[in-house]
Amino acid sequence: MIDKTWPSATEAVADIPDGASIAVGGFGLSGNPIALIEALLAQGTHDLSVVSNNCGVDDWGLGVLLAARRIRKMTSSYVGENKEFERQFLSGELELELTPQGTLAEKLRAGGAGIAAFFTQTGVGTQVAEGGLPRRYDGAGGVAVASPVKEVRAFGDRHYVLEEAITTDFALVHALRGDTHGNLVFHKAARNFNPLAAMAGRVCIAQVEQLVAPGELDPDTVHLPGVYVHRIVEVGTGIEKRIERRTVAEPRTEA
């Protein structure tokens, strides 16, 4: 019997070294593995290369690692909710590999599936394929590092750009439920980049709100099999969750 349970988030991330690459689940602030992120922050790990759809906000999610200058490079598809991200990128403090969202998802999935690379139409005819996208600025308005030219090949009457898969040293993900074998069930919108990030990490660490014994999860409800998960930590159902913006409609009044 394989029990992948770890007693705390602190112990689960303790061996993540400086300079590690990490795939992190979440979309906006939905499904952020915040307990694992905060444990990583507390232990002081730095010089990280992080792959995630976005980088949280200034005071939540991956934004707390960014604010503490722990992230060296981000590979993301959306970076518009974090002012500190903008400042670090434009000042040359942060490297950014901006990637189309669907391509980023497939790069993670392919990495977990053992596929080295794939061809996609997304990005053909743009700087995604032709190169020149700023990855790091020099702090004076110039580009210090730019994206490279990628291979483009014709299949039939269409052109496709070659994208390499992504694998990382570690993955941090959040799920609603999991069993001690690592099988995971995600809740609604939190089933976003979490399964893909989990697949890409050589060592996947999952925080779950509810931890159950093997056999308690209906196999038909499992979204990610335990073969992809190496460590699992129960964080409880009371863990704080945030959204970027709350919009509330005005109450309707009778005419």
Same domain, 127 and 66: no
DSSP 181-244: T--EE--GGGSSSHHHHHHHEEEEEEEEEEEE-TT-S-GGG-SB-GGG--EEEE--TT-----S
pLDDT at 132: 96
The DSSP call for residue 147 is P
Tokens 């993900």 locate to 173
Residues 82 and 201 in one domain: yes
Same domain, 18 and 31: yes
Domain contains 245: no
pLDDT at 255: 61
Other residues' Cβ atoms within 10 Å of the Cβ of residue 145: 15
Whether residues 138 and 230 fall in one domain: no
pLDDT tens by residue, 64-89: 999 999 999 999 999 888 899 999 99
Total number of domains in the chain: 2
CATH of the domain at 36: 3.40.1080.10
- 3 state DSSP class of 120: strand
Residues of the chain with pLDDT under 70: 1, 255
Q: Which residue has the tokens 């014994």?
A: 213
